[in-house]
Every structure is written in structure tokens, then in C-alpha cells.
Amino acid sequence: MTRLLPTELSAYLEALVPKRSPELQAMEVDARKTNFPIIGPTSGHLCYLIAKMIGARRIFELGSGFGYSTAFFAKAVQDNGGGVVNHVVWDAKLSKKAKRHLSALGFNDVVKYHVCEAVEALRSAEESFDLIFNDIDKEAYPDALPIIEAKLKPGGVLIVDNMLWSGRVFDPSDKSPETRAILELSHMLTASPHWTSALVPIRDGLMVAFKEPK
Ligand SMILES: C[S@@+](CC[C@H](N)C(=O)[O-])C[C@H]1O[C@@H](n2cnc3c(N)ncnc32)[C@H](O)[C@@H]1O
């Protein structure tokens, strides 16, 4: 991932994030070593803040990895009085690894694990959610939106990662399917009367979208 923000600005923003536990810091080190794309502390903290502000107790993550982003949502759900964060990834090894980390962080009471394709898992969920976080393969972003919209409660919040895609979204020569899909999702969210959204340009860009109550 190309860093879009100047190094000094990134470091300044990161320094404003409350100190993470040794377990979370170890996850950050692991992600750096293995080049695994976690949302990182600044975006993670914003996710925590939003989930906390809206009092989220039912959260669905699409594309959870080894549990780093999940940890921020799980903390918010605990602070909000308890509930469920659905950790969904199609790789059983990653799910197991996430369980180890999230248990060590004390989130056993709020995290539910699913090893499967995330959009199908959301489609078959019986309940609706206060907050949905999307970090799956980027080509799948546009097709996931109608299902997300159906499963998010009115007044719920959608957060989508990588909406700046290392700056490829403003490179007119980039015609890759991932970049097109991200641009398409941006258009779907910003043009729809059902959503009010803003792209927060931290790290790789977090789209924060509010589902308008009808
Ligand atoms: C970007 S990483 C997730 C990082 C995580 N959100 C974090 O910040 O800690 C996306 C993960 O979801 C998996 N994934 C991608 N598309 C998926 C899908 N449609 N269903 C389930 N898992 C998916 C990828 O294999 C990868 O492990």
C-alpha cells in the first residue's frame, strides 16, 4: 500500500491514538512483518469511536483477517454494554489466529466467528446490524452494497476501508477491476438518497456512510 499522507502527518495522527495493549501492538508488528493489510491504529481508533458514538451492539465485519479491526469493534461493543461482533473470513487459519488474539484481549464474550464467504454470510444473517464494516476483496464492493443496505438497520452506519486505494482512484489511467469497483461504490453511496457519506482520508481512506431512516 502506498502511503498517501505525509509521514509526519501519519505519525502525528497515530500519536493521538490511545496507547494500544501489548497484544494489539504485537498484532501490528505481525502485520508489518507479514505484509498483512490491517486497518492500522488511526483507522481502528476511528472505527472504535464511531461504534461507540452510535452505541453499536450488533456489528458485522466483512473480511476480518486475524482480528485486528475486530478488536476495535469488540471494545466498543463491550463499552456499549455487550453484544456481538461477527468476525467473518473465508480462511480457517486466519479465523483461528484471530480467536487466539481476541481471546487474549478479553473479547470472548462478544465475538462470533464464521469461516465462509462474507457477503453470503451477511445475506443469510437473520438479524439486522447497527454497524457493518466492509474490507473484502475490492472487486466485490459494488455487489455487496444492496445486501449491506438490506441488513443495516435504518440509522445504521457502514464503514468501508481502502476507498482511496493508494491514490489509484484519482489516477485516470488506472482501469483495474479493483479501482473501478471502488469508484463505483463511491458513486453508489454518494449519489443515493438512502445514504449520507463522507470519505475520511486517513491511511487508505475510510468511507463512513449513514443509512438514512426512510
Ligand atoms: C484486508 S484483510 C482484513 C483486514 C482486517 N479488516 C483488519 O483490518 O484487521 C481482508 C481479509 O478478508 C479475506 N476476504 C476477502 N474477501 C472475502 C470474502 N468475500 N469473504 C470472506 N473473506 C474475504 C481476505 O482473504 C483477507 O484475509
What domains are defined for the chain?
7-211 (3.40.50.150)
Most ligand 1 atoms within 8 A of CB, residue of 64, 143, 182 to mutate = 64
Q: What is the percentage of the chain residues whose pLDDT exceeds 70?
A: 100
Residue minimizing CA distance to atom 2 of ligand 1:
65
The pTM of the full predicted model, rounded to 2 decimals, is 0.98
* 20 — pLDDT class (breaks 50, 70, 90): very high
Bridge partners (DSSP) listed for residue 84: 58
Question: Cell 462478544 identifies what position?
Answer: 110
Residues 6+ apart with CB under 8 A from 37: 1, 31, 65, 162
CA distance 131 to 155: 9
Residue 110 has pLDDT above 90, yes or no: yes
* 2 — pLDDT class (breaks 50, 70, 90): confident
Q: What are the backbone angles phi and psi of residue 43, rounded to the nearest 5°?
A: -70, -40
Ligand 1 pocket list (CB less than 6 A)? 37-39, 63-65, 68-69, 88-91, 94, 117-119, 135-137, 140
